[in-house]
Amino acid sequence: MPRVDFYVLASADPAARLRFACRLVEKAWLHEHRVRVQLDPGGDGAAFDDLLWTFADRSFVPHERLAADGVPPAPVAAVVIADGDSKGPDDRDMLVNLAASVPAGYQGYARIAEVVDADDRRRKSGRDRFRFYREQGMEPQMHKMGDGS
């Protein structure tokens, strides 16, 4: 059963949420995790892709976006960004969920990181996902992050 961590941000700024997710992905990559970042279709995929290249001067996180058909170019980077339910490589051990719902196949990950900010809509969908994981028999952990997260 996956370990589920909710990172609850104090800010409602969508850019702060994406920057926090970039730092989380970088940390996972540095610990040699293979990460899938899940976003909603038509959402922040391009913005997150760009930000992952530029969020910090000292950073380099090799990553690729999954194509709409889910077939990534070869070779596949340690981090993939997915918009929607596109099928991707099965060798991922961590899911960073920035989508409004729990992605299909969530059970296949050792670790799930949910990033929730103070936006009312995203906070409500975060509560729904928290409840969903509990109903599946998991015990999600919550981490309240300060303004400087």
* pLDDT at 148 (0 to 100): 53
pLDDT in tens, 32-52: 999 999 999 877 788 888 888
CA distance 6 to 106: 14
CATH code, domain with 140: 3.40.50.10110
Q: Judge contact between 112 and 97, C-beta under 8 A.
A: yes
Of residues 97, 27, 95, the one with CA closest to residue 55:
27
Q: Which domain holds residue 84?
A: 3-145
Please count the structural domains in the chain. Answer: 1
pLDDT in tens, 3-23: 999 999 999 998 899 999 999
* pLDDT at 66 (0 to 100): 81
Strands annotated E in the chain = 3-9, 35-39, 63-65, 79-83, 94-97, 111-116, 141-145
* pLDDT at 53 (0 to 100): 86
C-alpha angle with apex 110: 28 to 100, nearest 5 degrees? 80
pLDDT in tens, 58-84: 778 888 888 666 565 555 788 999 887
The answer, yes or no, to whether residue 110 has pLDDT greater than 60, is: yes
